[in-house]
Structure formats: structure tokens, C-alpha cells
Amino acid sequence: MIEKEDLFKGEPAEYGGLDIESDLLEICPAEFKINHYNPWLRYAEAMCCCGADISKWRWKSGNEKKREKQWICLQAIFRSPDLSQNDKNALAAWMLSEMLSGLPKYLPLKGR
């Protein structure tokens, strides 16, 4: 049985997605599924659409390898060919809430 602690333990697939994404979706907390009052979900939706510059994010972990793995897993979810957009956003919102010490105040776009 997969648990919350496994959120960033998946392995990215060659063409996007994580090998455990369907299991993660089953345990994804309800507050991240189609709840537009959840600011993490709104941020994930905007990020998926527009991309983001992560240089100003405040990470929970001080471990660079852990942050890199989290970033890789988040990107894999956004590129998943097997998840609906709503499911991608839900998992990404959950991941972001576990990765960052606070919701970023704005979404700086890549290339700006």
C-alpha cells in the first residue's frame, strides 16, 4: 500500500508521468481535487499552463538532492500522458504543498 511518505518516491517514465501516479491519485487528499478554493490547486493550475521560475520558492527541505527529486516528480506529473488535467493539477497541488514552506505570492513566468 502506498502512503503519503511515498509522494516523491516514484520514478519518471520515459514520456512523462510517474510509475506510481495512479496509486498517488487514490490517496490524494480530497482538498486538492477540484476545489478552487484551495490556493495550492490554483497555483498548480497556473503553473501547468504558464510554467514558473522556481528560483524564489521557499523549499521545506534544505537538501538539494531531495529538492531535485521533488522537482523531477512534479515535472513528470505535469507531463503525464495518462492523467486528466484535473488529476495532474490535484497531484501537483499536493506535491507543491509538501515541497514548499509556503505558497508563493505570485507566479513568475519563465523567461521573464
Tell me the per-residue pLDDT of 45-54, one tens digit each, with 9 for 90 and over: 888 777 777 8
Torsions phi, psi of 100, nearest 5? -105, 150
Q: Which residue has the higher pLDDT, 53 or 86?
A: 86
Alpha carbon distance 22, 62 (integer Å)? 29
Q: Which three cell numbers stand for residue 78?
A: 505535469
Q: What angle do CA 103, 106, 111 make, to 5 degrees?
A: 125
- Bridge partners of residue 100, in order along the sequence: 59
**Is 80 exceeded by the pLDDT of residue 71?**
yes
As a whole number, the mean pLDDT across the chain is: 89
pTM of the predicted model, to two decimals? 0.90
